[in-house]
Amino acid sequence: MIIAIDGPSGAGKSTLGKMLAKELGLLYLDTGAMYRAVGLAVLEKGINFDDNEKVSEIAADTNIELVGEPENQKVFLDERDVSAEIRTNAVGQAASIVSTISQVRKILVEHQRTLGENSEKGCVLDGRDIGTIIFPNADAKFFLTAKPEARARRRYEEDLNKAHITTYKETLAEINLRDKRDVSRADSPLTISEDAVVIDTSELDLREVFEQMMSVVRESQNAKSKTT
Ligand code: DC
C-alpha cells in the first residue's frame, strides 16, 4: 500500500505521516529530508546555488539514507548523522532552492520511487510531488494544508523546542518565501492532485486529522480487497 501526503511546509505532513506509518506498519519516507540533505551538502561545500551542474553532481554523488522507525527516523549524509542539522531555516531554504533543479529532482525522485516500490508492506511518503509525480497511482492521496499563520506558529514552536533561535515573524517570512518558490518552480511545482483528499489542518487537532486520514485509508483497503 502506498500513501501519498503532499502539502506546504508546516501543515503537519510529517507528524501525520509518521502516525499513519506506525499504525499501519508501513515504511515512512520523509522526501523533504532528502532535499534538505542535498541542501546541507551544497552549503557545506560552499558551492554556488546557481551552479546547477555542480549542485546536481552533489545530489548524484552523496549517499542519503533514512534509517529507523518512523517516530525517530535518522537522516544520514554519507554515513554522517545530520538529522538535527537539516532542520534549520537556512537548510530549509537551501532545500527549496536545490529542489528547483530538474536534474536534482530526477535523481531524488528515482531514489524515492525505488525505496517505496521495494518496501515490504508499503510506504507512507510525505513531500510536494508524491501524488502527482512519484506515485500517481497511490492507494490513498492526501493534500494537507493550513493558513500560513498557523503553519508558522507550529514551526516556530518546534524551533523553540529544538533551541533554534528565531522569531515568529522570521518564521512566517521564511514559510512564505519557501511556499512561493515551491509553488512557482517550473519542474513539479506543489499542486493538488485531482484525486487527493484535501484537509485544512488550521483549526483541527492532530487526532481529528489522523482519524479522517485513517478512514480514507480503510475505504481504500476495503475497495482493494473487493477487487482482488
Ligand atoms: O518538507 P520539507 O519542508 O522538509 O521540504 C524541504 C524543501 O524540499 C521544500 O521547500 C521543497 C522541497 N521538496 C520538494 O521539492 N519535493 C519533495 N517531495 C519534498 C520536498
* Model confidence band, residue 165 (pLDDT cutoffs 50, 70, 90): confident
- Please tell me the CATH superfamily of domain 2-205, with its number: P-loop containing nucleotide triphosphate hydrolases (3.40.50.300)
The DSSP output letter for 41 is: H
State whether the beta carbon of 89 lies less than 6 angstroms from ligand 1. Answer: no
Residue labelled with grid coordinates 499563520: 149
How many angstroms does the Cα of residue 126 sit away from the middle of ligand 1?
A: 9
pLDDT of amino acid 158: 83
| Model pLDDT for residues 70-111, shown as the tens digit of each residue | 988 999 999 999 999 999 889 999 999 999 999 999 999 999
183-196: pLDDT as tens digits: 999 999 999 999 99
Q: Could you count the other beta carbons within 10 Å of the beta carbon of residue 152?
A: 22
Residue 216 CA, ligand 1 centroid: distance in Å: 24
DSSP string, 72-90: G-EEEETTEE-TTGGGSHH
Residue 121 amino acid letter: K
As a whole number of angstroms, the distance between CA 9 and CA 176 comes to: 10
Which pTM does this prediction carry? 0.95
Q: With beta carbons less than 8 A apart as the criterion, state whether 16 and 209 touch.
A: yes
127 C-alpha vs ligand 1 centroid, how far in Å?
6
Does residue 132's CB lie within 6 angstroms of at least one atom of ligand 1? Answer: no
How far, in Å, is the centroid of ligand 1 from the Cα of 99?
A: 7
Q: Ligand 1 centre from 96 Cα, in Å?
A: 6
pLDDT range class, residue 226, cuts 50, 70, 90:
confident
Q: Which of 128, 175, 185, 188 to mutate to test the pocket of ligand 1 (most atoms within 8 A of CB)?
A: 128
* Best of 18, 182, 183, 187 for a ligand 1 pocket test (most atoms within 8 Å of beta carbon): 182
From the CA of 21, how far away is ligand 1's center (Å)?
Answer: 19
- Is residue 8 scored above 90 in pLDDT? yes
Q: Which three cell numbers stand for residue 88?
A: 534549520
pLDDT of residue 173: 93
Q: What is the DSSP string of 104-172?
A: HHHHHHHHHHHHHHT-SS-EEEEESSIIIII-TT-SEEEEEE--HHHHHHHHHHHHHHTT----HHHHH
Cell of 32: 523533504
- Report whether residue 31 contacts ligand 1, using a CB cutoff of 6 Å: yes
Grid coordinates given for 93: 531554504
- Could you give the CA distance from residue 108 to residue 213 in angstroms, rounded to a whole number? 26
